[in-house]
Structure 1
């Protein structure tokens, strides 16, 4: 059974906004009390949050589809629909969020760091909010906006100060078990370690974390073995430690060759050339291991490597190694730029920026793209003529009509609002300046027109009584 997952595909969908309500207030002796439809509720967001108690992406491996709740529709009596509940997804520290093309969207480091993976749709306005001096009794409401959906890739990169790299069975797990309180699985066969192990080490006043990276063999950077799956865990480490096996039973291996092979794999993976390195000659408690360490150490030092002879069994050289690692980690931390306070960048819209574009596609099709026009189309109930007229008014006020004239659109040409896979297409009629002209006196309740003759007849009778002549 899989217990550790550090890369998953996650499909998230935010909640849809609730529809607005078209309602007219009614009570005894007040048949036309005015519009009182409430607004729809906002859809819930999908939020990724770093949680230090979470160490794997296993939950999203088993359940990759996540959706937030929708906002509730509005109701009469000016009742606003309830907002959808945000869906909070905890992720491990060091999670990188990418899109399907591999572009980095967020690098989540530090407890409580958040990323809104899906934006909930806004709720539609009820007819009470749409009322105005020109539109006293709207017979329509706006629909809620659908929530955004995304296909994401989550990759976990361990947040550690020191990475132990080396061949399988080189003693990395044993070394981390004696340097820290970690208790990894240890055995005498290759690929004992199937997941990165983390341990906390204290060297004087310096406290740092150590991770062992499993599965590095020749060809690991090209996907051979387990190396490619776990090389990403080296990226965040400040110091690299080569753990070389001085008591290997394989006749075709020796510490110098092992070092060259692992360095070649790290170079092919890329991005690690600037990390300081230490070389650890392990298993020197065995006589043959000590002899081999004495033989290769001068050559390693001649190449500029700082070498330590250690033994996880006898604990030889561990104190010197931990303090050397602590000094390198302290130097790396001192080189880090200090975090500045978050700056709020305000970019006001330019005076001449319309907020939409009109492009010609083919002989007689023009496409309108922009956040406002596309949102307005999604909020329109096209079965309601008054709502369609309201949309026409909004587009006209935004300047879409004038822009279509400017780019050469003619009567009868097709106009598409939105992307190709989800657009509303209609035939353009430039003679109709706005929706109000198309629908006449839009916004007035027809029942008011039915009452006018009766009111006029009553006024005529009162005038006759006052002036019988």
Structure 2
């Protein structure tokens, strides 16, 4: 049964925004008291947060689909809808967030570090928020925006100071069990260690962590054995420790060839050339192991390695090794730059940035792309003529119509707003504003207007009567 997972593909979906409400206030003796439709609630976000108590991505392996709550729609009486519930997903320290193409989106290190993986949709405005001096009683409201959806990849890279690498059964698990309080599974067969084990070591005033990485074999960087799956766990370490078996029973192996093989796999994986190395000759409690360690030590030192002869069983040479590792870790920590306070980077838009683009596709199709036009389309209820006219006015004020004219669009050409897989397409008319005005004076209700004076009403009534009489007699008095 799987107990440790360090790479998962997660399908996240933020909550949709609630729709705005189109409502008119009504009460006794005041049947039309003005618009009072409330705004829709915001959709919930999906947020990844580092939690030190979480050590695996197992939960997301079993349940890869996660969705936040939707916002509630607005209601009459100026009541706004409730915001959707945010979804907080705890992840282990050292989790890297990538997109499907492998680009890094976030590197989550440190308790409480967070990343919004999917942002909730905005709630739609109610007709009360859309009312203005020109549009006193809008008969429509804006729709809520859909929340962001997408697929992300989570990779766990163990946050450790020291990484123990070597062949299977080289004694890495035994070594970490005596250096720290960790209790990994130990046996004399290959691939005993199936998951990285972490241990905390105290040497003087320095406290550091040691990771026991599952055994590597030739071809690990290309996917053989367990190496490729777990090589990512050595990326964050400050020092690599080669644990070499001096008492192996395999005749074709020896410490020097084992070291060359592991180094070749590390080079093939990449990104680890700058890490300091230490060589540990393990199992010197075995007579043949002690002799072989003394034989190969000069060759290793001639290559520039610091060499330690140890025995995890007899607890020989462990103190010297632990203090040597503490010294290297302390130097690495001191060399790291101090973390500066978070800075807010402000990138103002260019003065000539219209906020949208118009491109010609084919002979009679023009595509409009931009944050505002696409958002306005998503918020429009196309079953409501007044809402469509409001969209036309917004696009015209933004300059979309002028840009279409400059691009060479003619009456009847197709205009698509949005990406190819999710666009609204319509036949363009040269004057969107005129088309919008044909819908009437949107949102105005003559019952809400102040009463006209009696003299004005008599004058209009007499003019209408004279016009009707003239039409009946067959002539036009105004010609």
TM-score surpassing 0.5?
yes
Q: Is the 8 A contact 1:367 1:416 kept in 2?
A: yes
Determine the C-alpha separation between the residues in 2 that align with 1:371 and 1:459.
49
Determine the C-alpha separation between the residues in 1 that align with 2:11 and 2:303.
49
Deviations 1:424-463 (A, max 9, x none): 00000013425541212111136559x979x9699659x9
Determine the C-alpha separation between the residues in 2 that align with 1:60 and 1:152.
12
Q: Is the 8 A contact 1:393 1:434 kept in 2?
A: no
The reply to whether residue 285 of structure 1 matches residue 302 of structure 2 is no
Determine the C-alpha separation between the residues in 2 that align with 1:319 and 1:327.
12
Q: Is the 8 A contact 2:297 2:307 kept in 1?
A: yes
1:150 CA drift (Å): 1.2
The match for 2:203 is 203
Determine the C-alpha separation between the residues in 2 that align with 1:458 and 1:269.
88
Q: Is the 8 A contact 1:38 1:79 kept in 2?
A: yes
Deviations 1:366-416 (A, max 9, x none): 000000000000000000000000000000000001100111111100000
Residues 330 and 435 of structure 1: CA distance in aligned 2, closer, same or farther (over 3 Å):
farther
Determine the C-alpha separation between the residues in 2 that align with 1:75 and 1:238.
58
The reply to whether residue 229 of structure 1 matches residue 229 of structure 2 is yes
Q: Is the 8 A contact 2:7 2:154 kept in 1?
A: yes
The match for 2:306 is 306
Q: Is the 8 A contact 2:393 2:432 kept in 1?
A: no
The match for 1:467 is none
The match for 1:384 is 384
Residues 435 and 140 of structure 1: CA distance in aligned 2, closer, same or farther (over 3 Å):
farther
The match for 1:185 is 185
Residues 434 and 333 of structure 1: CA distance in aligned 2, closer, same or farther (over 3 Å):
farther
The match for 1:337 is 337
Q: Is the 8 A contact 1:396 1:433 kept in 2?
A: yes
Residues 37 and 457 of structure 1: CA distance in aligned 2, closer, same or farther (over 3 Å):
farther
Residues 205 and 444 of structure 1: CA distance in aligned 2, closer, same or farther (over 3 Å):
same
The match for 1:403 is 403
Determine the C-alpha separation between the residues in 2 that align with 1:60 and 1:350.
42
Q: Write out aligned runs for 1:67-216 (5 A).
A: 67-216=67-216
Q: Is the 8 A contact 1:389 1:434 kept in 2?
A: no
Determine the C-alpha separation between the residues in 2 that align with 1:133 and 1:371.
27
Determine the C-alpha separation between the residues in 1 that align with 2:69 and 2:117.
14
The match for 1:296 is 296
Residues 2 and 178 of structure 1: CA distance in aligned 2, closer, same or farther (over 3 Å):
same
Determine the C-alpha separation between the residues in 2 that align with 1:434 and 1:357.
23
Deviations 1:315-370 (A, max 9, x none): 10000000000000011111111111111111122221110000000000000000
Determine the C-alpha separation between the residues in 1 that align with 2:261 and 2:62.
36
Determine the C-alpha separation between the residues in 2 that align with 1:432 and 1:452.
33
Residues 448 and 33 of structure 1: CA distance in aligned 2, closer, same or farther (over 3 Å):
closer
Deviations 1:18-55 (A, max 9, x none): 00000000000001100000000000000000000000
Residues 270 and 452 of structure 1: CA distance in aligned 2, closer, same or farther (over 3 Å):
same
Instruction: Provide structure 2 residue ranges, at least 5 long, that are not aligned to the other structure.
Output: 462-479
Q: Write out aligned runs for 1:251-262 (5 A).
A: 251-262=251-262
Q: Which moved more, 1:350-359 or 1:239-248?
A: 350-359
Q: Aligned-pair RMSD on alpha carbons?
A: 1.7
1:116 CA drift (Å): 0.3
Q: Is the 8 A contact 2:40 2:125 kept in 1?
A: yes
Determine the C-alpha separation between the residues in 2 that align with 1:196 and 1:434.
69
Question: Segments of 4+ in structure 1 off by > 3 A?
Answer: 446-449, 455-461
Determine the C-alpha separation between the residues in 1 that align with 2:350 and 2:294.
71
Q: Is the 8 A contact 1:396 1:434 kept in 2?
A: no
Q: Is the 8 A contact 1:120 1:148 kept in 2?
A: yes
Q: Secondary structure at the match of 2:290?
A: helix
Q: Is the 8 A contact 1:18 1:123 kept in 2?
A: yes
Deviations 1:211-230 (A, max 9, x none): 01103000000000000000
Deviations 1:175-222 (A, max 9, x none): 000000000000111100000000000110111000011030000000
Q: Is the 8 A contact 2:43 2:71 kept in 1?
A: yes
Q: Is the 8 A contact 1:393 1:435 kept in 2?
A: no
Determine the C-alpha separation between the residues in 2 that align with 1:133 and 1:13.
39
The match for 1:60 is 60
Determine the C-alpha separation between the residues in 2 that align with 1:243 and 1:47.
40
The match for 2:466 is none
The match for 1:24 is 24
Q: Secondary structure at the match of 1:439?
A: coil
Q: Is the 8 A contact 2:38 2:79 kept in 1?
A: yes
Instruction: Provide structure 1 residue ranges, at least 5 long, that are not aligned to the other structure.
Output: 464-469
